[in-house]
Amino acid sequence: MIYAEILAGGKGTRMGNTEMPKQFLMLGKKPIFIHTVEQFLMNKRIDKIFICCPEQWVSYTKDTLRKYISDTAKVIVVKGGETRNDTILNGCRFIEENYGIQEDDIILTHDAVRPFLTQRIIDDNIDGALKYGAVDTVVEAFDTIVHSKDGQIITDIPVRSEMYQGQTPQSFNIKLLMSFFASLTEDEKSILTDACKALVIKGTDVHLVKGEVSNIKITTQYDLKVANGLVEENKS
Amino acid sequence: MINQVYRLIAPKQIREDFVDLKIDDESVIVRPTYLSICAADQRYYTGSRGRVVMKQKLPMALIHEAVGEVVYDPQGEYKVGTNVVMIPNTPIEEDEIIKDNYMRSSRFRASGFDGFMQNVVCMQRNLIIPFSVEPRVAVLLELTSVVMNAVENFEKMAHCRRNTIGIWGNGNLGFIVALTLRKKYPDSQIIVFGVEEHKMAYFSFVDNTYLIDDIPSDLRVDHAFECVGGRASGTAINQIIDYIQPQGTISLMGVSENNVPINTRMVLEKGLTLLGNSRSNYDDFKHSVQLMEMYDDVCEYLSTIISEEVVVQSIDDIHRAFDDDLNNDFKTIMKWEI
């Protein structure tokens, strides 16, 4: 089975005084996360889509889904966790309890606030996760990356051609991911907040999938304004 | 959802635009799988439509020949994964006499509004048709439907002596006209007239081929199809007028940017009928699907005129497909993975 897990756990703290988490803000005529869910709904290879959101927003998410999407049979809203990895793990546990996990089951984890992803990115993630077990979506770094340990002086300027910027989806073989999480200590879990980073540090190969510069993450009011500027109404 | 639409904004410049796609119960969402480049697309891409038209029409997504897979149908009429051909002609109103592909109010993809170069396409339920043949060949269904429209028009209008039918033009259109006529009229002599010997070699199923400067002087055709278009339109039509029997029908199919002077004196003297043909409607597509599904060799022959298949995963790949197409003998198709 191929699952998609939309990570909608953000509480919107970086957006300023928004009244609700950023994934629920409007982009064009729909909330951001609806656009994201729809993109996964349009992929015939995805069997189920989980939306993981903060506990107090579960009912709201369900209501909003019903309002915008007529066929929600493939979409399930589940409670997110405290951290990003907890949320991913919650999704995996839900799958384990309700469907069981087979050797080649994979999960695509994706930020709810990246609604600009394409079918090509989804397909490449599916192919990559089935083949390699773990993939991360990236784009080449356009800007020079400057590394500073203290935020005052430059520690290092890495070779730009070897630098990439991480996006999502991050996609995994579910068995691999769950057994890996089980092997982490509590301390490691608190430090290794990114699943791909954790896998790499522990010696697992994570392959790259080409993202798109347009696959932006809507984190700030500026991002939202840019995103709304990019999207036009459907006239045809 | 946010749909990516790949629009031509100026000659040889394509931009990814983002459209807030409205998904309602009346529509079916289709993910394109194969797209085919037509001469009309190429005229926009290279800017040869002229500044005024370009300014009027752009930005616009190109391509009106495409097949895809149903990825979402809120009504559940089409199973997810069903292969369908997408019909570019979009009628706005019905008329009991005029076919909808000739209605001035009808809209046409990649001419009046966005074509199929999109992440997914929101199609009206009545503008898709399922098929069971190979999608990489089925992408030629649109061109076949244009031929079907012309052949069925010919069937209705031309007199019944169809011993010899001539086709002027050795390109994609000429090939599909010849193949369709071969199946519709197995007892007729089908003769192709062209200028490129190496391309005419592909027409193995016709009775004869001639270079246009080497036609026997006593050869005559009962009816003819003009599949040349462009600047050579006039030469072709006038040659047809010379070689056609009186009261024959000339089916015009080639598009020309300029007005074409033709020998009307001889059109009058011979009592010829000139039939205009353009585009196609739902029934033409339906009959084209039936043609491909009925005869195995139709798909086999059609696959021989796919000169190149370009896998498209980026805008650069789209440019490569259009650039290559200019040098390809026959069709350039795009495997749509963007």
Range of the domain at A208: 2-226
Strand order in the sheet with B13-20: A231-233, B13-20, B2-10, B60-61
pLDDT in tens, B271-315: 999 999 999 999 999 999 999 999 999 999 999 999 999 999 999
pLDDT band at A70 (very low <50, low <70, confident <90, very high): confident
Separation between Cα atoms, residue B288 and residue B142, nearest integer Å: 8
Query: Closest approach of chain B CAs to the CA of A40, in angstroms?
Result: 10
| pLDDT computed for residue A60 by the predictor | 93
pLDDT tens figures, A171-211: 999 999 999 888 888 888 778 878 898 888 888 899 999 99
A231 lies in some domain:
no
Q: Which two tokens stand for residue B20?
A: 């807030």
Minimum distance, in Å, between the CA of residue A17 and any CA atom of chain B:
26
Q: Taking a C-beta distance cutoff of 8 angstroms, is the pair A65, A57 a contact?
A: no
- Is residue B166 within 8 Å of residue B241, measured between CB atoms? no
**Averaged pLDDT, A27-54:** 95
- Percent of chain B scoring above 90 in pLDDT: 95
A235 occurs within a structural domain: no
The whole-number average pLDDT for the span B57-66 is 97
- Per-residue pLDDT of A17-36, as tens digits, reads 546 788 999 999 999 999 99
The residue among B45 and A20 whose pLDDT is bigger is B45
Q: Between residues 199 and 258 of chain B, which touch chain A (CB distance below 8 Å)? A: none
Domain at A215, CATH number: 3.90.550.10
Residue among A29, A30, A42 minimizing CB distance to B31? A42
Task: Please report which confidence band the pLDDT of residue A235 belongs to, taking 50, 70 and 90 as the band edges.
Answer: low
Q: Would A102 be classed as within a structural domain?
A: yes
Query: Is residue A97 situated within a structural domain?
Result: yes
Q: What is the pLDDT of residues A82-120, one digit of tens each?
A: 888 889 988 999 999 999 999 999 999 999 999 999 999
> In total, how many domains does chain A have?
1
The region of weakest confidence among A45-54, A109-118, A152-161, A198-207 is: A198-207
Count Cα neighbours of A13 within 13 Å in the Cβ-side half-sphere: 3
Distance CA A58, CA A33 (A): 13
**φ, ψ for residue A156, nearest 5 deg:** -165, 150
Domains of chain B: 2-140+305-336 (3.90.180.10), 147-276 (3.40.50.720)
Q: Is A188 a member of any domain?
A: yes
Chain A nearest C-alpha distance from B5 (Å) = 11
Cβ(A95)–Cβ(A101) below 8 Å: yes
Whether residue B74 and residue A71 make contact (CB cut-off 8 A), yes or no, is: yes
- Residue A232 domain-assigned (yes or no): no
Which strands form B223-226's sheet, in the order they lie side by side?
Answer: B208-211, B189-194, B164-168, B223-226, B249-252, B273-276
Average pLDDT, chain A: 91
Q: Which site among A29, A35, A119 would you substitute to test the B interface, given the most B Cβ atoms closer than 10 Å to its Cβ? A: A119
- Do A214 and B18 make contact, defined as CB atoms within 8 angstroms? yes
Identify the pLDDT of residue A84.
86
pLDDT for A236: 61
Enumerate the residues of chain A whose CB falls inside 8 A of the CB of residue B69: 44
Task: Pick B20's closest partner by Cβ from A41, A118, A234.
Answer: A234
C-alpha B260/C-alpha B233 separation (Å) is 7
pLDDT at B132: 97
Are the C-beta atoms of A143 and A120 separated by less than 8 Å? no
Q: Any CB–CB contact under 8 A between B4 and chain A? A: yes
Residue B337 at interface with chain A, using a CB cutoff of 8 Å: yes
**pLDDT above 70 covers what percent of chain B?**
100
